[in-house]
Amino acid sequence: MPVRRHTDPIQVELIWDAIRSANAARQTPDLTRITKYIQTVGNYSPTLIEGFVKNALKDKLILTTGKKQEGGIPSYKIVDQELGLAQRTGVFEMASTLRLFG
């Protein structure tokens, strides 16, 4: 059964690239850094980018870290990439159960 998402895959890639870019520069990937990165790549408004991030959070494609920056600004991280889509949707659990009995 297909997974219905709120976020467009292109928007998710932009957000993931922004988070990777901030991590590579040893900076905290917060909303302002994500917004600046996406604005350099495409012509998006800050409110639209904030909506992209909220939708990605709804879809659990990114997570907020438990740590807050000074001033209470949340930072974001990419969901473990090693898990893959099958494990996040529960297909992995079903497949591993079938392997035990098969």
Q: Which CATH class for the 9-79 domain? A: mainly alpha
This model's pTM is above 0.75: no
Q: Residue 12 and residue 10: Cα distance in Å, rounded?
A: 5
Q: Alpha carbon 10 to chain centroid distance?
A: 12
What pLDDT, in 10s, does the model give residues 8-59? Answer: 899 999 999 999 999 999 999 999 999 999 999 999 999 999 999 999 999 9
Q: Give pairs for 50-58: CB < 8 Å, separation 24+.
A: 52/7, 52/11, 52/14, 52/15, 53/15, 55/6, 55/7, 55/11, 56/7, 56/11, 56/12, 56/15, 58/6, 58/7
Summarize the confidence of residues 70-80 as an average pLDDT. 82
> 65 or 15: whose pLDDT is higher?
15
pLDDT above 90 for 99:
no
